[in-house]
Structure 1
Amino acid sequence: MIKYLIIDDEHMAHEIIKGYCDMLPNMSLVKHCYDALEALDCMRENTVDLIFLDLNMPKLKGFDFLKTLTNPPKVIVTTAYKEYALEGYELEIADYLLKPFGFERFLKAVNKATQVKASVPPITPPAENTQPEHIFLYSDKKHVQVKVADVLYIEAAGNYAKVVLRDNTLLVREKISDLLVRLASSDFIQVHKSFVVAKTHILSVEGNRIQVAGHSVPIGKLYRTNVLELLKE
């Protein structure tokens, strides 16, 4: 099991990284840290194998934090500033992810970091053929069997999620990240912090909106890379 730490002062960045890690096996979150000092306290009491590190943070900058560690774990930098890449590699980071980044690039970085340890095999996404054609969703005090191919998109709604199907909508008490694990994740794409869309039901992409079977879904800035990668397929 790879124990990881997210160090970033932006809540949205935590959501994206945690969501991606939840799609992979053998990844265990130690803690969400919103500044480097909080991370230092955490690492005094916990074993950490991998750090996702932002650079521009209050109190103590990312690389300054890294320089204080005598025996640092593997580090993947996640930042919007490409000009610090050279300094990062001089500090022997595993990889440098420029925000926004998609799942494929994220997976490459994680594999690069974990392959250094001979005892840890490369991580691969869940196999497509292991995903069921149907899943049961608990909605309105009953378990409803849903055909995965009928799911148009999923929308976060507080502690719930709206699963929009071809002919109806279900309100379930699950997070989007948890639903992605249960669905055939390769057939779905996260386009916004609150929206996941079925690739086969996308009719068109225009500007910052996606048309899905008569519904208009927004594209979030941090997820635009996911959409651009889809358009290249």
Structure 2
Amino acid sequence: MIRYIIIDDEFVAHDIIKGYCDLLPNMSLMKNCYDALEAFEYLNKNEVDLIFLDLNMPKLKGFDFLRTLPSPPNVIVTTAYSEFALEGYELNIADYLLKPFGFERFLKAINKAVSSTNKAQQSMSIANVESPVAKTIFLRSNKKYTQVGIDTILYIEAAGNYTKVITIHETITIREKISEMLELLPKEEFLQVHKSFAVAKSHIKNIEGNKIHIRDYIIPIGKMYKIKINELLK
């Protein structure tokens, strides 16, 4: 469950963000805050996983508020002002959404934030010798949004401006290029082996010649990618 708060002085912005979040599983709104001081008071007593933060607010501006937090959670900035984007990334925000934004762009921001959270939790688990953290990603196909466990993805295949995501359970075709999809997946777990294919290392059954076997699937290895395969086999 991703616990989030919205910090924005506009009621319409709250409605839009909550409406988008309601379309996704495991998103739980903890509080609507209409200025940064209200949010600061709430965060002093409660923990959240994600903040949707407007910048141009009364009393205390968004980034000034963010600098007051000793250990801020993931932050997605939602603003009408593009000129502060660089400053936002210097503060390690997950993403910077320019108003007005559509649901597809919003979904990309959520995926970035979820990926960042999962990596941080996984690092903590390794440090504390705990069990691995389940990782997920949201995929859009045919106007439906599906939450997929990253560890269930066998491989991905380019299909023009689309990408096929082949999982243990199903094949999902999304309107993203394979390069865009790879940016959302953990680099240490997925390996591009062809201009049109990337595979999950953990699901490789065997490698024979220029072919990779994953379950009943055979994935070709491109000539330009043989070096990566050789490094994997060392």
TM value normalised by structure 1 = 0.53
- Cα displacement string for residues 20-47 of structure 1 (whole angstroms, at most 9, x for unaligned residues): 0000001000100000000011112221
Q: Which residue of 1 aligns with 2:137?
A: 122
Q: Which residue of 2 aligns with 1:29?
A: 29
Identity of aligned residues (%): 69
Q: Tell whether 2:80 aligns with 1:80.
A: yes
Q: 1:63 to 1:129 in 2, by over 3 A?
A: closer
Q: Once the 2 structures are TM-superposed, how far is the Cα of residue 124 of structure 1 from its aligned partner?
A: 3.8
Residues 36, 59 of structure 2: 8 Å contact kept: yes
Q: Which residue of 1 aligns with 2:53?
A: 53
| Larger-gyration structure (1/2) | 2
Q: 1:66 to 1:26 in 2, by over 3 A?
A: same
Q: How does 1:9-158 map to 2 (within 5 A)?
A: 9-118=9-118, 119=133, 120-124=135-139
- Structure 1 unaligned runs (5+)? 131-233
Residues 48, 73 of structure 2: 8 Å contact kept: yes
Q: Once the 2 structures are TM-superposed, how far is the Cα of residue 126 of structure 1 from its aligned partner?
A: 8.8
Q: Which amino acid in 2 is paired with 1:123?
A: F
Q: 1:121 to 1:56 in 2, by over 3 A?
A: same
Residues 74, 117 of structure 2: 8 Å contact kept: no
Could you say which structure has the greater relative contact order, defined with CA pairs below 8 angstroms and 6 or more residues apart? 1
Classify the secondary structure of the residue corresponding to 1:45. Answer: coil
Q: 1:12 to 1:117 in 2, by over 3 A?
A: same
Q: Once the 2 structures are TM-superposed, how far is the Cα of residue 123 of structure 1 from its aligned partner?
A: 2.9
Q: 1:108 to 1:60 in 2, by over 3 A?
A: same
TM value normalised by structure 2 = 0.53
Q: Once the 2 structures are TM-superposed, how far is the Cα of residue 129 of structure 1 from its aligned partner?
A: 7.6
Residues 111, 137 of structure 2: 8 Å contact kept: yes
Classify the secondary structure of the residue corresponding to 1:96. Answer: strand
- Cα displacement string for residues 111-160 of structure 1 (whole angstroms, at most 9, x for unaligned residues): 00111122342234598689xxxxxxxxxxxxxxxxxxxxxxxxxxxxxx
Classify the secondary structure of the residue corresponding to 1:100. Answer: coil
Q: Once the 2 structures are TM-superposed, how far is the Cα of residue 60 of structure 1 from its aligned partner?
A: 0.4
Residues 24, 124 of structure 1: 8 Å contact kept: no
